[in-house]
Structure 1
Amino acid sequence: MKYIAVFCGSSSGNGGEFIEQATSLGEIIARKGYGLVYGGAHVGLMGAVADGVLSQGGEVIGVIPEFLKKKELEHKSITKIHVVETMHDRKALMNELSDAVIALPGGYGTLEELFEMLTWSQLALHKKAIGILNVNGYYDPLIEMSEKMIEKGFLKEEYRKLLIVESKVDNLLDKMHKFEPLKNDKWFEVK
């Protein structure tokens, strides 16, 4: 892993623990020698993770759609900014520029980004480690839903390994570094 894409909220959430964990994630990413690829904004958890990386002298690459840049959400202090046309272009470029993915807490957009990366992994379109930093159990209901998908036959058991879940940054990054992609590139089997 060289660059880690982080998907997260453009808001701070309720309570300071979300900002603290986003900042800590950024600091540790930089201290471990990784670069950050993220959505390019200066607000919310997005701004906190970028500021965490920058505080440790790390590299931060932002990818922001033009319409958000016009709303003055662009982080002006990052290493490099890519301005794209659409939200889809943003995801595609973030995927292209990164070697791994982490989701912090966020809303619909964060979930959509996370699920697209998981789907692409399931379809063997990439072989990146995908992690969730599960701050204060934020993602527990999502993990329960994934278990229900397996139980009800909508998700294969083997795909559970595509998502690495940890509540501590160091543990998450260590597991992601050791991640081994699924050997079976076949998406489904005809029975």
Structure 2
Amino acid sequence: MNIAVFCSSSNHIAAHYKQSAFQLGELIAESGNTLVYGGATGGLMDSVAEGAFSKKGKIIGVIPTAVIRMNRRSALSSELITVETMNERKAQMKALSDVFIVLPGSYGTLDEMLDIIASGIVGEHKKTLYIVNQNEFYDHFLKQIDYMRSELFIPAEEKYKPVIVSNINHCMELIKSSIENS
């Protein structure tokens, strides 16, 4: 199974986020799955790839040329796919992946997450999206979703809804269970 991980590439974040991302990479590799990620250096991107790499996991990086020009191409990918734009990166990662995991991140991570949700709503895919709400990182975002639902911008019965988990271990347990039950 190809598991896409969307996450921060910032180097200025707390170490506990990096440790969790590293552990997620390890768990993906140990379970025999393939990590699909943004192919760049820095932050949680490095950590998740380093974790998978440390367990000899398969890693597919998808990187836009702009990030390569910034000298941020990771050397950890087993396979590196170069695309022209960030939008092409999202499309390629969506096409390659069977499931998506969102770790803490910033604008790019939110963009990737919301693209998966919006495309799921209109029926472009039925792939599960897991949001890891580590240290209540996404609590304010989840409150915004509740507010949009209460104002009827989001229907009470959503056609596509992300799965919220509090940590990577619970996330990987759910993925393992879904594989076993399919």
For the aligned pair, the TM-score class normalised by the smaller chain equals: over 0.9
Aligned residue for 1:26?
Answer: 25
The answer as to 2:147 corresponding to 1:152 is no
Aligned residue for 2:173?
Answer: 174
Q: Is the 8 A contact 1:50 1:78 kept in 2?
A: yes
Separation in 2, partners of 1:136, 1:12? 18
Separation in 2, partners of 1:117, 1:25? 20
| Deviation, structure 1 residue 160 | 8.2
Separation in 1, partners of 2:120, 2:138? 20
The 3 A distance-change label for structure 1 pair 142 and 21 is same
Aligned residue for 1:36?
Answer: 35
Q: Which runs of 4+ in 1 moved over 3 A?
A: 176-179
Q: Give the structure-1-normalised TM-score.
A: 0.88
Q: Is the 8 A contact 1:22 1:48 kept in 2?
A: yes
The 3 A distance-change label for structure 1 pair 135 and 11 is same
| Deviation, structure 1 residue 10 | 0.8
Q: What does 1:97-112 align with in structure 2 at a 5 Å threshold?
A: 97-112=96-111
- With 77-86 and 159-168 compared, the bigger mean Cα shift is at 159-168
Separation in 1, partners of 2:61, 2:74? 8
Unaligned residue ranges in structure 1 (runs of 5+): 180-191
Q: Is the 8 A contact 1:164 1:176 kept in 2?
A: no
- What letter is aligned with 2:119? W
- What letter is aligned with 1:171? H
Aligned residue for 1:141?
Answer: 140
The 3 A distance-change label for structure 1 pair 170 and 161 is farther
| Deviation, structure 1 residue 158 | 2.5
| Deviation, structure 1 residue 63 | 0.5
Q: Is the 8 A contact 2:62 2:93 kept in 1?
A: yes
- Three-state SS of the structure 2 residue aligned to 1:4 is strand
Q: What does 1:15-164 align with in structure 2 at a 5 Å threshold?
A: 15-159=14-158, 162-164=161-163
The 3 A distance-change label for structure 1 pair 91 and 142 is same
Unaligned residue ranges in structure 2 (runs of 5+): none
Separation in 2, partners of 1:111, 1:147? 17
Report % sequence identity.
37
Separation in 2, partners of 1:104, 1:172? 11
Aligned residue for 1:4?
Answer: 3
Aligned residue for 1:183?
Answer: none
Separation in 1, partners of 2:13, 2:2? 29
| Deviation, structure 1 residue 34 | 1.1
- What letter is aligned with 2:169? D
Q: Is the 8 A contact 2:39 2:80 kept in 1?
A: yes
Q: Is the 8 A contact 1:133 1:172 kept in 2?
A: yes
Separation in 1, partners of 2:142, 2:30? 29
Q: Is the 8 A contact 1:164 1:175 kept in 2?
A: no
Separation in 2, partners of 1:151, 1:175? 28
Q: Is the 8 A contact 2:120 2:160 kept in 1?
A: no
Aligned length: 178
Q: Is the 8 A contact 2:121 2:160 kept in 1?
A: no
Separation in 2, partners of 1:24, 1:89? 28
Separation in 1, partners of 2:26, 2:65? 28
> RMSD of the TM alignment (CA)?
1.5
Separation in 2, partners of 1:158, 1:35? 32
